[in-house]
Structure 1
Amino acid sequence: MTQASACSPGRPGSGAAPSAPAPTQTTTSERPDAAAVKANELGLVPVLMYHRLVAEPKAEFDRRPEDFRAELQLLFDQGYRPVTAAELAARRLDVPAGTTPVVLTFDDSTRDQFALGDDDSVDPSSAIGILIDFSRTHPDFRPVATMYVNADPFGVRDGVRLLRKLADLGIELGEHTATHANLARLDATNVQRELVLGQRVITDATGQAPRTMALPFGVRPVDRSLAAAGSWDGEAYSFEADFLVGAGPAPSPFADAFEPQAVPRIRSSSWAGGPPNLGSAYWLDWLAGNPDKRYVADGNPDAVSFPSAERPRLDPAFTARARAY
């Protein structure tokens, strides 16, 4: 993406990063009381949006590698635990009690986001390499993220090999159109063509269709329904959620304010030029100062716990799972 605007899921891969053990599961009797951990599963969830990792930022979407690592540490210290965009859209936010889910998304499938060595090892200087390395010393910080890819991913001839490796690592692969097209400028046929061709980049590599989509430039097509589902050349697509470009935390997927086809994201950037923006530094600081607004898990992915005063914000579809206190 190259410009900002206010903004089912790519299917997670079958494997987990080898350095990250699976989180320990707890029984019902071991789970903390929702009130004791101040659970609020109707609170806000940050979906962070990354683009290039570069030593010298030249645009508002650029992030220095050392700043990315520092942000992972900040997220961990503030009690955030990663989930994929697919898990957010599916309402399966299985994070420990007292923690907050965070979605790490990467747009445009650039080489600095993911690369492999000749021995098939992950480049430790890439974004995913940094994430995997961080998880080695922070085992309950799962090295999961969502990569929104275009055609010719990562700028290499063997992009298919990289996509397969990402899927094996448990990284979700999501749709970002074939050519990073501004969908509002295309007619209905070409909108669907872009999305089917973008989908094929992923299905041809992994055999699994993407379940979420990030809108290039955060712009939806004139017929907004085509961003959710459509078909072209005999092939259909369907996304459980579409993600925008900005510019704040997402509502809880259990809240009535949650719009699956318009999920906002927060830009993470090291760029010092231009006017102040509502990026990740701003919003993480705001959420730290307003803990009552933040999603806090109860540790039970089958229940939706929240203070009784928050009940009016509950999506009625989840009444049976609601646990007010």
Structure 2
Amino acid sequence: MTKFLKSSLAILISASIFLSGCSGSPQDSKADQNQNQDKNVTAVEPSVTQPNIDLSKVTPNENGKIMVVMFHNFVSSFTPSKYDDGQYTTTFNDFRKLLQALYDKGYRLISLNDLLNNNILVPAGCIPMVFTFDDGTPGQFNLVPDGEKLVANKESAVGIMEEFNKTHPDFGLEGTFFVNLGLKVFDGDGTVPERLKYLIDEGFEIGNHTMTHIHLNEARSAGEIQKEIGGEQKRMYELIPDYKIFAFSLPFGQPSKDLQEFVIKGNYQGVQYQNSAIMEVGWDPTVSPVSKKFNPLSIHRVRATGIKPVQADLDWWLQNLSRNEQYISDGNPDTVTIPKGKEADIDNNRLNGKKLVVY
């Protein structure tokens, strides 16, 4: 499905909020259980047309927090070892269960690019979420033959998402894959260009993770950093002409202490690169893209729950982050709706042409 069709579908769903199941969806979190759910909300008639929603029920807050989830490895089964206890590994079955759980809780996927541009198209009452995948591992995605064509392996994260999308199209089929083009990328059938093109054609995004997954804080020169990051963009142009990478994920979560300006932008062998977004290694949700606190060059992520759960992973946040703290959509792509008293938190320059509605 093309990105245009996905956006059109999102808008259609937003206009038919009672079909979405998100309007006023409860969150089964400890934090919600401890909060007063009976507060009175006075709606102020906005100056632009909105979907016909009950603001007192939906209680939209488009200045709330958004979870950007960080995935790494996916496997059928796993045996812990002294070298790997499974903190960064998810089983395929657990991933299937996760998608259903997120859907039932009212989460809907958006792309990283849409987060950056405040182009969040999910139905009223739904909560946007971003999926990111680091390292280009085959469990995330690999191709297998299906007759005369190559398709995503159903035993991969992408294959599982595609299957889920068939029965839950309003959940979204979005994600950004941060790869190292100097190493193995989605090992399996097909060529590297075929693998990347498949993802791009499905609407997924490709991000920069350096050519060889270096420790940026150990890089000794600007030239070394530009070779790793600019070399990745150069290689991407060779594999998929005209595909410009816009986002970067810090390998090992480590920025460069003295050369961070070259992580953001630079030039390698005549190829320029500029990262509009830089992803941290996860520990907490990011703020809304309309918040004055939003920094696209330091986007916080939430670590996906692995076989060995840890504090502040996704399951932990699902239990401890209240609905009231999160970004709750008003269902209208032309407005940003917030509760009264939150106006001072909004960066008007980031509204991206949308009307600010306060209730």
**Following TM superposition, by how much is the alpha carbon of 1:312 offset from its aligned partner in structure 2, in angstroms?**
2.3
RMSD: 2.4
Please give the alpha-carbon distance, in whole angstroms, between the structure 2 residues aligned to 1:61 and 1:41: 30
Distance 1:34 1:215, change over 3 A: farther
Query: How many aligned positions are there?
Result: 308
- Counterpart check, 1:212 vs 2:247: yes
Q: Describe the SS at the equivalent of 2:10.
A: coil
The one-letter code matched in structure 2 to 1:172 is E
Distance 1:44 1:29, change over 3 A: closer
Distance 1:300 1:225, change over 3 A: farther
**Following TM superposition, by how much is the alpha carbon of 1:247 offset from its aligned partner in structure 2, in angstroms?**
0.5
- Counterpart check, 1:188 vs 2:222: yes
- Counterpart check, 1:247 vs 2:283: yes
- Counterpart check, 1:56 vs 2:78: yes
The one-letter code matched in structure 1 to 2:311 is N
**Following TM superposition, by how much is the alpha carbon of 1:166 offset from its aligned partner in structure 2, in angstroms?**
0.5
Distance 1:37 1:297, change over 3 A: same
Residue matched to 2:299: 263
Please give the alpha-carbon distance, in whole angstroms, between the structure 2 residues aligned to 1:314 and 1:99: 20
Please give the alpha-carbon distance, in whole angstroms, between the structure 2 residues aligned to 1:269 and 1:173: 23
Please give the alpha-carbon distance, in whole angstroms, between the structure 2 residues aligned to 1:301 and 1:253: 14
The structure with higher relative contact order (CA 8 Å, sep 6+) is 1
The one-letter code matched in structure 1 to 2:78 is E
**Following TM superposition, by how much is the alpha carbon of 1:147 offset from its aligned partner in structure 2, in angstroms?**
0.7
Please give the alpha-carbon distance, in whole angstroms, between the structure 1 residues aligned to 2:79 and 2:318: 21
- Counterpart check, 1:124 vs 2:111: no
Please give the alpha-carbon distance, in whole angstroms, between the structure 1 residues aligned to 2:203 and 2:255: 28
Instruction: Answer whether contact 2:11 2:122 (CA < 8 A) is retained.
Output: no
- Deviations, residues 156-215 of structure 1 (Å, cap 9, x unaligned): 571111000110111111111111111111121111111112223433333311111111
Residue matched to 2:316: 282
**Following TM superposition, by how much is the alpha carbon of 1:29 offset from its aligned partner in structure 2, in angstroms?**
5.3
Displaced runs of 4 or more, over 4 A = 16-21, 33-36
Instruction: Answer whether contact 1:244 1:265 (CA < 8 A) is retained.
Output: yes
- Counterpart check, 1:113 vs 2:140: yes
- Counterpart check, 1:140 vs 2:170: yes
Residue matched to 1:198: 232
The one-letter code matched in structure 2 to 1:47 is V
Distance 1:21 1:123, change over 3 A: farther
Residue matched to 1:166: 199
Please give the alpha-carbon distance, in whole angstroms, between the structure 1 residues aligned to 2:194 and 2:228: 22
Please give the alpha-carbon distance, in whole angstroms, between the structure 2 residues aligned to 1:72 and 1:149: 23
**Following TM superposition, by how much is the alpha carbon of 1:34 offset from its aligned partner in structure 2, in angstroms?**
4.6
The one-letter code matched in structure 1 to 2:288 is S
Please give the alpha-carbon distance, in whole angstroms, between the structure 1 residues aligned to 2:11 and 2:286: 27
Distance 1:20 1:240, change over 3 A: closer
Any gaps of 5 or more consecutive residues in structure 2? 16-48, 81-85
Instruction: Answer whether contact 1:243 1:264 (CA < 8 A) is retained.
Output: yes
- Deviations, residues 103-152 of structure 1 (Å, cap 9, x unaligned): 01111011111111123121111100001111111120111111111113
Please give the alpha-carbon distance, in whole angstroms, between the structure 2 residues aligned to 1:31 and 1:18: 24
Question: Is the deviation greater in 278-287 or in 41-50?
Answer: 278-287
Identity %: 31
- Counterpart check, 1:299 vs 2:299: no
Instruction: Answer whether contact 1:42 1:251 (CA < 8 A) is retained.
Output: yes
Q: Describe the SS at the equivalent of 2:171.
A: coil
**Following TM superposition, by how much is the alpha carbon of 1:295 offset from its aligned partner in structure 2, in angstroms?**
0.3
- TM-score when scaled to structure 1? 0.88
**Following TM superposition, by how much is the alpha carbon of 1:234 offset from its aligned partner in structure 2, in angstroms?**
1.0
The one-letter code matched in structure 2 to 1:165 is Y
- Counterpart check, 1:23 vs 2:10: yes
Q: Map 1:86-105 onto structure 2 (within 5 A).
A: 86-105=113-132
Please give the alpha-carbon distance, in whole angstroms, between the structure 2 residues aligned to 1:62 and 1:203: 31
Residue matched to 1:43: 64
Residue matched to 1:155: 187
Q: Describe the SS at the equivalent of 1:135.
A: helix
**Following TM superposition, by how much is the alpha carbon of 1:277 offset from its aligned partner in structure 2, in angstroms?**
2.2
The one-letter code matched in structure 1 to 2:124 is A
**Following TM superposition, by how much is the alpha carbon of 1:301 offset from its aligned partner in structure 2, in angstroms?**
2.4
- TM-score when scaled to structure 2? 0.80
1:177 to 181, 201, 210: 210
Instruction: Answer whether contact 1:53 1:64 (CA < 8 A) is retained.
Output: yes
Distance 1:34 1:192, change over 3 A: farther
The one-letter code matched in structure 2 to 1:219 is Q
